[in-house]
């Protein structure tokens, strides 16, 4: 592991449109604690992480600041405004991180079940390989289809993984990549690194690290502690 500390970015600037809830999904309260606080707390317990930048919509910044103060969540260094796309939110955060930090860990606050042990593993690989992300092997067969629903290919499942966060990336490369490939839309941070020619590597994590996305997923929240 590196001697240098890692800066974490916790994303909570989405609209949660697929959840269709009154309150944005990252602010749904479970045991009187808004969802985003669960992963914030786990990140704050990792010794290798010494600061966390929280990203949220401008109109939610005051609320988020108040929540982290009230619940005494540690290591939140700043709360910065998000952007239209996930990658714009990432960009707003990484652009505030000083060059001193070599690596940044990026996490979706919509994944509240992330485990400390998996975070430590992805940090170790991210530092060694310049980019690593948590993921798991797919259990279903995956097919590519065309617009009409006809199958175009069935890739070998043994070589398919489902990608999660956290993702650990080299700070200078992600900054450059987000700038250089601004017009391309990415669904994860490793994708930006791949566009920059970096070989990215999976860190096998846990199936429990799900992303709360649709109303169906709300049933899992009762397991949060
Ligand atoms: N996110 C963000 N800024 C955006 C879009 C997404 O910070 N402009 C964050 C979300 O808050 C979430 C994570 O990125 O924690 C993963 O995104 P997703 O699950 O797609 O959340 P939403 O974009 O909020 O949901 P939806 O796509 O259903 O609108
Ligand atoms: Mg989204």
Element (H, E) at 128: helix 116-129
Model confidence at 2: pLDDT above 60: no
Angle at CA of residue 120, ends 11 and 128, nearest 5°: 95
1 alpha carbon to ligand 1 midpoint, in Å?
Answer: 30
Q: In the numeric block, which tokens belong to residue 46?
A: 């990792």
User: How many other β-carbons are positioned within 10 Å of the β-carbon of residue 172?
Assistant: 14
- Under a CB-based contact definition with an 8 Å cutoff, are residues 96 and 121 in contact? no
The DSSP bridge pattern shows strands 33-34 and 29-30 to be antiparallel
Model pLDDT for residues 41-99, shown as the tens digit of each residue: 999 999 999 999 999 999 999 999 999 999 999 999 999 999 999 999 999 999 999 99
Question: Among 9, 24, 40, 45, which Cα is nearest to 224's?
Answer: 40
Q: In the numeric block, which tokens belong to residue 220?
A: 């899992």
Ion ligand 2, residues whose Cβ is below 5 A away: 14
What residue owns the CA closest to ligand 1's atom 19?
213
Model pLDDT for residues 155-172, shown as the tens digit of each residue: 999 999 999 999 999 999
**Nearest ligand, measured from the Cα of 86:** 1
């Amino acid at each position: 592991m590196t001697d240098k500390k890692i800066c974490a970015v916790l994303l909570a600037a989405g609209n949660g449109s697929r959840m269709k809830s009154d309150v944005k999904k990252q602010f749904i309260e479970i045991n009187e604690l808004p969802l985003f606080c669960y992963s914030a707390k786990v990140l704050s317990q990792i010794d290798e992480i010494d600061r966390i930048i929280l990203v949220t919509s401008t109109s939610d910044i005051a609320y988020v600041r108040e929540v982290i103060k009230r619940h005494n969540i540690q290591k939140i260094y700043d709360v910065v405004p998000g952007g239209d796309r996930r990658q714009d939110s990432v960009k707003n955060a990484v652009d505030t991180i000083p060059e001193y930090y070599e690596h940044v860990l990026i996490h979706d606050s919509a994944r509240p079940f992330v485990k400390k042990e998996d975070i430590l593993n992805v940090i170790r690989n991210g530092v060694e390989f310049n980019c690593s992300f948590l993921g798991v092997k797919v259990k279903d067969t995956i097919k590519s289809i065309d617009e009409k629903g006809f199958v175009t290919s069935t890739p070998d499942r043994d070589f398919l993984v489902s990608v999660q966060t956290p993702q650990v990336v080299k700070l200078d490369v992600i900054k450059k990549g987000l700038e250089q490939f601004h017009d391309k839309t990415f669904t994860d941070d490793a994708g930006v690194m791949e566009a920059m020619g970096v070989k990215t590597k999976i860190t096998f994590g846990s199936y429990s690290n799900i992303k709360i996305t649709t109303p169906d997923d709300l049933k899992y929240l009762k397991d949060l502690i």
